[in-house]
Amino acid sequence: MVAATKPARAAVIGGGVIGGGWVARLIQNGVDVGIFDPDPEAPRKINDVMANADHAVRRLTMAPLPARGHIRFADSIAEAAKDAELIVEAVPERLDIKQTVYAQIEAAAPTDAVISSSTSGILPSDLQAQMQHPERLLVGHPFNPVYLLPLVELVGGARTAAATLDRAAAFFAGIGMHPLRIRKEIEAFVADRFLEAVWREALWLVKDGIATTEEIDDAIRYGFGLRWAQMGLFETYRVAGGEAGMAHFIAQFGPCLKWPWTKLMDVPDLTDELVKTISDQSDAQSGRHSIRELERIRDDNLVAILQALKANDWGAGQTVANWEKSLYDAVPARRQQAIDGPLETMRQQVPSDWTDYNGHMNEARYLDCFSMATDAVMRWIGVDAAYLANGGSYFTVETHIRHLDEVRAGSEIFATSQVLLGEGKKMQLFHHLYAVEADGASRLLATGEHMLIHVDMTSRSASLPEDSVAARLATLAQAHASLPHPDGAGRAIGGGN
Ligand SMILES: NC(=O)c1ccc[n+]([C@@H]2O[C@H](COP(=O)([O-])OP(=O)(O)OC[C@H]3O[C@@H](n4cnc5c(N)ncnc54)[C@H](O)[C@@H]3O)[C@@H](O)[C@H]2O)c1
């Protein structure tokens, strides 16, 4: 496992469906991106993808996203690539176009930049054949929508350096992806080989009048597609074999593979007639939705599936959980040196979907903000992803929020946090939530007081924190002891202090 790290700067060459998705994923993870695409429509198309990505990522996570990276539309490949650590190529699927692009990248990019092709199937050895420094090219094959699906297949060519694959894996993990290293280069790699086989079979089923496009999609999405999303093929079949397991499953069903069920080796001729049949059936199936609507439906469903998998600590949900932990680990309070005042523990804009019918931030979101602030304090004292993985954490046992003022979508808000008590198993925190006014002044929105208890997550019972955490908490508590006791601390509902 290579440690995840974000590229300092990235370039994306080609801003279509896939390039736009890369840009969205990168800037949402705080990476500045230079982009080049000769199409004058490219900025509009990328903005459309960004709108979808914002909608999806807001639903996917409550974790504190870093300040967005900047997008710079460049006038040339050289200008986009000149200062990038990671250069993602996403131009049309033609070897000659890609090779021309690499020549222009090489003329301008830093010599140690990683160049990652999004190709769906061209061999990296062919892609790098004419390069001056072929060792820095690999295939990083993503899946649409790139801003939501974690998988990226990493494929090295004959001349790709092992270090290039390691750096690319670290960069992709750093922006919340699951890099899967493919052991040998073959055309179409692993996932598209599989998808092509299924697609070929589906074309035959339509051509032979066995099923319509909608019936084929139903056969997938009402049944085995749900299994594939969470266990894939072999783990599903292991379960299907029952207690007798995989060997039994193969013995039982393996011989069927030799029956003439499939036409996998043949491809139906894509005659005008067959293409029209498929297009007409697809119109009847889905024509009532625009592509934009279908993208939103797809993204909302993917978010729901990813969240369910996260709750079950399984598959792609684990990638999302690891990404969220790294976002919490990266909050500013962790880096703040001075502790003689309250720590700044969250800062962001109020997203539009955090508001209620009045256009004001919903009351439940005040708790979300305080929850982020609490997490930031935990990170500061050393309760980070590694500590959590070792089984220690703090659980909130009591909360008191005062809702003092309202705030609208788009406003910048931030929280500060003060430790009132930090000894033994207990940590008592007091947060202030502010809005930033147009003149830069702060307006108090709410206060939140929270009692937390340290927990051993294996036994699920209260326990003392590790010494290093106890020491950092004590340092913070001591520094904050001289601060004024916050107004409202220790107050019961409706009562005085
Ligand atoms: N669409 C998918 O589902 C998918 C999935 C994974 C990988 N890919 C791969 O990603 C790559 C891009 O595919 P796409 O679907 O985004 O295609 P697309 O047609 O949507 O986008 C390609 C973009 O490249 C631009 N372009 C053309 N020549 C260029 C040049 N010389 N320099 C910079 N930009 C240039 C075009 O203007 C266009 O905007 C292909 O290699 C494809 O195989 C596609």
Q: Is the pLDDT of residue 267 over 90?
A: no
Mean pLDDT confidence for 79-89 = 97
**Type of residue numbered 276:** K
Contact by Cβ (8 Å): 198, 233: no
What does the pLDDT look like over 168-200, one tens digit per residue?
Answer: 999 999 999 999 999 999 999 999 998 998 999
Q: Is the pLDDT of residue 264 over 80?
A: no
Output the pLDDT for position 239: 85
Tell me the two tokens of residue 458: 């294996």
Q: How many Å apart are CA 58 and CA 54, to the nearest integer?
A: 6
What does the pLDDT look like over 21-46, one tens digit per residue?
Answer: 999 999 999 999 999 999 999 999 99
Mean pLDDT confidence for 79-99 = 98
Q: How many Å apart are CA 96 and CA 117, to the nearest integer?
A: 13
Cα–Cα–Cα angle for 178, 180, 182, rounded to 5 degrees? 170
- Ligand 1 pocket test, pick from 115, 120, 148, 152 with the greatest ligand atom count within 8 Å of Cβ, gives 120
Q: Which atom of ligand 1 is nearest to the CA of 119?
A: 41
The residues with which 443 forms a beta bridge, in sequence order, are 435
Q: How far is the CA of 37 from the centre of ligand 1 (A)?
A: 10
Q: How many Å apart are CA 242 and CA 260, to the nearest integer?
A: 26
Mean pLDDT confidence for 243-247 = 80
Percent of the chain at pLDDT > 90 equals 78
13 ligand 1 Cβ < 6 A = yes
Range list of H helices, 175-313: 191-207, 213-219, 225-231, 234-240, 245-253, 272-286, 291-311
What does the pLDDT look like over 349-374, one tens digit per residue?
Answer: 787 778 888 889 999 999 999 999 99
Q: Going by CA atoms, what residue is nearest to atom 5 of ligand 1?
A: 143
* Confidence at 324, pLDDT banded by 50, 70, 90: very high
Across the chain, how many H-helices and E-strands are there? 17, 14
* Confidence at 250, pLDDT banded by 50, 70, 90: confident
106 ligand 1 Cβ < 6 A = no
374 ligand 1 Cβ < 6 A = no
- Ligand 1 pocket test, pick from 12, 13, 37 with the greatest ligand atom count within 8 Å of Cβ, gives 37
Bridge-based pairing state of the strands 442-456 and 151-156:
unpaired
- Ligand 1 pocket test, pick from 18, 96, 195 with the greatest ligand atom count within 8 Å of Cβ, gives 18
Q: Give the single-character DSSP code of 182.
A: -
Q: Going by CA atoms, what residue is nearest to atom 28 of ligand 1?
A: 91
Q: How far is the CA of 111 from the centre of ligand 1 (A)?
A: 24
Mean pLDDT confidence for 262-283 = 86
HSE-CB at 264 with a 13 A cutoff on CA atoms is 12
Q: Look up tokens 């709750």; give the residue.
A: 311
* Confidence at 272, pLDDT banded by 50, 70, 90: very high
Tell me the two tokens of residue 28: 């949402």
Q: Which of 479, 456, 204, 218 is nearest to 336 (CA)?
A: 479
Mean pLDDT confidence for 260-264 = 67
Mean pLDDT confidence for 79-108 = 98
Q: Which atom of ligand 1 is nearest to the CA of 39?
A: 37
Measure CA 492 to chain center: 40
Structure-model confidence comparison of residues 68 and 279, the more confident one? 279
Output the pLDDT for position 395: 97
What does the pLDDT look like over 125-167, one tens digit per residue?
Answer: 999 999 999 999 999 999 999 999 999 999 999 999 999 999 9
What does the pLDDT look like over 393-426, one tens digit per residue?
Answer: 999 999 999 999 999 887 889 999 999 999 999 9
Contact by Cβ (8 Å): 81, 105: yes
Structure-model confidence comparison of residues 496 and 455, the more confident one? 455
Q: How many Å apart are CA 47 and CA 45, to the nearest integer?
A: 5
Output the pLDDT for position 262: 66
Q: Which atom of ligand 1 is nearest to the CA of 101?
A: 31
* Confidence at 334, pLDDT banded by 50, 70, 90: low
What does the pLDDT look like over 470-494, one tens digit per residue?
Answer: 999 999 999 999 999 999 999 888 7
Mean pLDDT confidence for 55-78 = 90
| b (16+ CB within 10 A) / e for 389-409 | eeebbbeeeeebbbeeebbee
Q: Which of 5, 9, 44 is nearest to 26 (CA)?
A: 9
Mean pLDDT confidence for 223-235 = 93
- Residue 205 makes CB contacts below 8 A (sequence gap 6+) with 211, 216
Q: Going by CA atoms, what residue is nearest to atom 37 of ligand 1?
A: 39
Q: How many Å apart are CA 177 and CA 171, to the nearest integer?
A: 9
Q: What is 24-40 written as a DSSP string? A: HHHHHTT-EEEEE-S-T
Q: Which atom of ligand 1 is nearest to the CA of 91?
A: 24
Burial of 62 (0-12, 13-18, 19+ CB in 10 A): middle
* Confidence at 278, pLDDT banded by 50, 70, 90: very high
Mean pLDDT confidence for 244-258 = 81
